[in-house]
Amino acid sequence: MTDEGKEIATLAGGCFWCLEAVYDDLKGVESVESGYMGGKTANPSYEEICSGETGHAEVVQLTFDPKRVSFKEILEVFFVIHDPTTLNRQGNDVGTQYRSAIFHHSAEQKAAAEQVIAKLGTAKIYEGPIVTEVVPASKFHVAEDYHQEYFRRNPAQSYCAFVVRPKVAKFRKHFLEKLKK
């Protein structure tokens, strides 16, 4: 919890451009930063992350108002916009940096993540088992400036048009009432 009663959530679900574009539109989310977490290299660069050797995942770190959106609601969105059943892969993005992970910042976040995953598993929403890691948050490394707000600044770029835009559309379709005005 931050000084102003806000909370932090850190999620990995493939390319951070996709997650950032979705969470930018979620009511109650006040800021979204793309970055890296979960690895062993100090101050990693994008190029180092892409090698798959640093152990970091591409993540988004959200600052949110828990009075307006709960951590569980953030996770509901997370599990709709990516495939949590593919180990170290999202579509054509392959490598440990694209793994599905929830980096919890408290015991409450850990418990909420485990509950959501168990509920989804019991409901058999997905054909395969959920492989999303639930691990303690570690040092967050902010990604390079050119990665921040990438979709907003580059909507016509081919990856954005063919990968990011459909995820944003899926989010908007499923969570219309949770969109920022």
Residue 15 bears catalytic tag = yes
User: Can you read off the two tokens belonging to residue 118?
Assistant: 């168990």
Catalytic residue among 15, 18, 50, 160: 15
Contacts of residue 12, defined as CB under 8 A and 6 or more positions apart, other chains included, come to 37, 38, 57, 58, 59, 98, 99, 100, 101, 102, 103
Q: Residue type for 88, please?
A: N
Give φ, ψ of 107 to 5 degrees.
-65, -35
Active site members: 15
